[in-house]
Structure 1
Amino acid sequence: MYDIVKEFHSGWAYIALFLLIVAVANAAAGLFSKKEFTPRDRKIALFGLIGVHTQLLIGLILYFVSPFGFASLGQMSDEMLRLTSLEHPLINIVGIALITIGWSKHKKLITSESKFKTFSIFYGVGLLLILSRIPWNLWL
């Protein structure tokens, strides 16, 4: 089961990152071009949100079935175990929380500029946090 969940988590990560990058790029383009916020823009941001939330659910399952996840928590002297058991899950949860906050905040905003700005900031910082803690040597 561990191998299946690990492969699914790794494969879905490409989709989730692609959707999130598209959402950040769309928000930044909308902000800088001063265009009107449309249902298409909302859907792009929603797909980014769904992608990272799905990745979080898969990651939580993996965390508890993996020998490098919860079972290795506390082994801080080993850099790789520290990354997989603490840093990667914690920082990615913070990043996904910021993305979720950005989604929630946009609903209360009226102007297109403020919606694009909210998505650019929250989704962008979330993306940077996620990218900073990907275990690249295990993933590629």
Structure 2
Amino acid sequence: MYTGLQHLHSYMTYLVLAGVLISLLVALAGWFGNKPFTDKDRKLGLLGLIPTHLQWVIGVILYFVSPLGLDGATEGFMKNSVSRLYVLEHPLTMIIAVVLITIGYSRAKRMVGTGNGFKSIAIFYGIGLILILSRIPWNAWPGN
């Protein structure tokens, strides 16, 4: 079970990054193009939101079944950069990123018909994407 979840979590990252990036690019184009935020644009925002939430759920499950997750929070784990990444930095940063992406989408869906929906998605998804990229364990990335 653990190995399957680990692989799913690793490869699902591609969907998360693609979805958030597509949503971000659409939002930037709409924002800087002074276009009205439509229901179609709101649905495109879901390309970033849904995979991010699914990835978060898989990550929470993995955190509790993985030896690198909660079980790794032993005495002195903060002195070990790999343990600190998996036990604290990666989960905390990803939770913040998911919250920001959720806030960006939630604000935007109430702004259909205005241009501010694009701005909300662009800012919150952009910050979320930076956070996600900053705490992906690149050394464990599939293919390395």
Q: Encode CA deviations 1:7-57: one digit per residue, 9 max, x unaligned.
A: 000011101110011001110011111122222211110121001000000
Deviation at residue 113 of structure 1 after TM alignment:
1.8
Q: What percentage of residue pairs aligned between the two structures are identical?
A: 47
CA distance in 2, matches of 1:32, 1:91: 29
Deviation at residue 104 of structure 1 after TM alignment:
1.4
Q: What is the letter of the counterpart of residue 99 of structure 1?
A: I
CA distance in 1, matches of 2:25, 2:114: 15
Q: Give the aligned partner of residue 128 of structure 2.
A: 126
Q: Name which of structure 1's ranges 85-94 and 107-116 shifts more when overlaid on structure 2.
A: 107-116
User: How many pairs align?
Assistant: 140
Q: Encode CA deviations 1:76-132: one digit per residue, 9 max, x unaligned.
A: 111011101110000010010011111111233355321100111111111111111
Q: What is the letter of the counterpart of residue 5 of structure 1?
A: L
Q: Map 1:13-52 to 2 at 5 A.
A: 13-52=13-52
1:85 equivalent in alignment to 2:56: no
Q: What is the letter of the counterpart of residue 45 of structure 1?
A: G
Runs of 4 or more above 2 Å deviation: 107-112
TM-score using structure 1 length: 0.94
Q: Give the aligned partner of residue 58 of structure 1.
A: 58
Change (3 A) 1:111 1:43: closer
For structure 2, list consecutive stretches of 5 or more residues without a partner in the other structure.
Answer: none
Deviation at residue 58 of structure 1 after TM alignment:
0.5
TM-score using structure 2 length: 0.92
Q: CA RMSD in A?
A: 1.2
CA distance in 1, matches of 2:11, 2:112: 37
Tell me, yes or no, if the aligned pair for 2:22 and 2:47 is still in contact at 8 Å.
no
